[in-house]
Amino acid sequence: MTTNDVLDLPTTSLRDAAAAARVCVVTVGGELFALPVQSVREVVLFEDLTPVPLAPPYVVGVANLRGEVVAIVDARSTLGLPAGRPGRRHRAIVVAAAGLEAALVIDGVVSLEALGAILPADPAAGLRHAEWAAGYLRRDNRLVPLLDVGKLLNALRSVGSSVASVGGGHGSRPGTKDPRAF
């Protein structure tokens, strides 16, 4: 069973024509990340989830979201963050990009914002999370990585594919999504 979080978030005008990015700012592992609102479907509190045998370690499980099976993934290790606490309840942000969809485990939602200029993500500059950032946004004198959701989901999927191929066939029916293939 899933329950939508009721969010009372601080926002800036998302209709601000001068804004370079309209984002959902979340915390993961105690750090701020921004996700483009175009990639965000919803924020959900998953209370019941099903573990997936032989799934990669980042796959927390799967859950029914209004009749659709969604993979719940924890990207902390990919982002270089410490592991989260295990539990049965997971707050997640459902994202879709590059033909993939998943619920990314988050600590919480900070705000919906329209932010100014996007600074380039140059891995050579030594900025944290540059590998997964489409750029950086300035928020309260801090640089917040604007995650490239498609790149992150594809990276998780490629790790999952190599792990899943070791385990053999998945037994999925044609036309169904196999969460382990994520």
Q: Is 51 helix (H, G, I), strand (E, B) or coil?
A: coil
Across all residues in the chain, what is the average pLDDT?
80
Q: What is the pLDDT of residue 37?
A: 95
Sheet containing 108-115: order of strands: 108-115, 21-28, 31-36, 142-147, 133-139, 118-119
User: Band of the pLDDT at 117, cuts 50, 70, 90?
Assistant: confident
State the average pLDDT over residues 25-48.
95
Q: What is the pLDDT of residue 5?
A: 41
Q: What is the pLDDT of residue 161?
A: 54
State the average pLDDT over residues 18-27.
85
Q: What is the pLDDT of residue 159?
A: 67
Q: What is the pLDDT of residue 164?
A: 40
Contact 95/41 with Cβ under 8 angstroms? yes
CB atoms inside a 10 Å sphere around CB 79: 18
pLDDT in tens, 38-95: 999 999 999 989 999 999 989 999 999 999 999 999 999 999 999 887 777 899 999 9
Q: Between 128 and 35, where is the model more confident? A: 35
Report the distance separating Cα 136 and Cα 48, nearest Å: 35
Kindly tell me the burial class for residue 20, based on how many C-beta atoms sit within 10 Å of its own C-beta (0-12, 13-18, 19 or more): middle
Report the distance separating Cα 127 and Cα 148, nearest Å: 15
Checking if the pLDDT of 11 tops 50, the result is no
State the average pLDDT over residues 175-182.
47
Q: What is the pLDDT of residue 6?
A: 37
HEC readout, 83-145: CCCCCCCEEEEEEEECCEEEEEECCEEEEEEEECCEECCCHHHCCCCHHHEEEEEEECCEEEE
